[in-house]
Amino acid sequence: MNNQISFSDMEYANRKRKTRRDEFLEIMEEVIPWEEMVDIIMPYYPRGERGRPPRGAEIMLRMYLLQNWFNLSDEGVEDAIYDSYAFRKFMNVNFLGEEQVPDSTTLCNFRKLLDQNGITKMFFDSMRDFLDKHGKLMHGGTIVDATLIDAPTSTKNETKSRDPEMHQVKKGNEWYFGERLFVGVDAGTGYIHSMEVTAANVSEVTVAHQLIRDDDEVCYGDAGFTGIEKRDEIKNNPHLSKIDYRINSKKSYRKNPAAAYKGINWDAYIDRQKSRVRSKVEYTFFIIKRIFHYHKVRYRGLHKNRTQGYMLCTCANLFMLAQSGGIRVSR
């Protein structure tokens, strides 16, 4: 990449303040282990023996990350890089030379490469091993939770139908159509160590056993995981059956606490102590749904959305790592 300084670089360097987008991209630039990620991609990346030489794996990875962080389409992220100086700086593209931004078709092919070879799952596993190696995962306890991600309900498409792999579910008094994103979070530090994506109508308690680690001794969850210890996949597993499941109650006792309790409401007090630990998982959803803008699925089918989910969880761990200031990942 051409590192020649342009007039726009000098002009932009004199700005009075940095935008939140600039600060966010600078944080991610510093914390992402670019060389390690590129090494994971290269065994599957085209070598350019036929046809047009491929663009570099790192520049395609940067473009793919921008697409995920800002919830942009293939054409949208291409246009945004041309429009935004912050995006162009993150991409390390200098228009003074002959280099240009990869087009939307190239990005689409790169995303298919990641999806078909499970590379984002490799990113996620590599990041989890990195955190474990540096003592950022405490083990012994897991927080399980899930959140609903909306899917388009429109039938204005070629098949005149909604995504058959997505389903609707009623939560409270409202109906939701889409997927359910499950995460298993380390109870001590809040980093994500496991992830799963299902249709929205899949019950939370049926997936919980996939989010618990082999060395966990305690598991926290909200009222949606009530009865987890009675599931066959839990009772028939020698390890999972011994775990202490600290699940919040459904709060039916709060309807008329004065009539049922004299003095301190101990059930509510115990639930508050569980929630103080369980609240760590809510911050991971805040990063994924608010900072990364993942509040509606972009692709049809669970497989493609699971691929994106692994990438978003990897980036969420990196973002929390940067905020903690505990480790600096150098290039």
3-state SS record for 108-132? HHHHHHHHHHCHHHHHHHHHHHHHH
pLDDT at res. 47? 84
Which has more confidence, 157 or 239? 239
Residue 307 lies in a domain: no
Which has more confidence, 180 or 154? 180
Token pair listed for 226: 């009530």
Query: How many structural domains does the chain have?
Result: 2
Residue 105: which domain range?
A: 7-117
Residue 308 lies in a domain: no
Spatial CB neighbours of 120, under 8 Å, sequence gap ≥ 6: 114, 307, 308, 310, 311, 314
Antiparallel, parallel or unpaired: β 174-186 and 141-150:
antiparallel
Residue 143 φ then ψ, to 5°: -110, 125
Q: What is the model's pTM?
A: 0.88
Q: Tell me which of 53-62, 144-153, 321-330 is least confident.
A: 321-330
Residue 230 lies in a domain: yes
Same domain? 145 vs 282: yes
Segment holding 286, helix H or strand E: helix 280-286
Same domain? 69 vs 186: no
Q: Tell me which of 91-95, 132-136, 288-292, 293-297 is least confident.
A: 91-95
Same domain? 174 vs 243: yes
Same domain? 104 vs 221: no
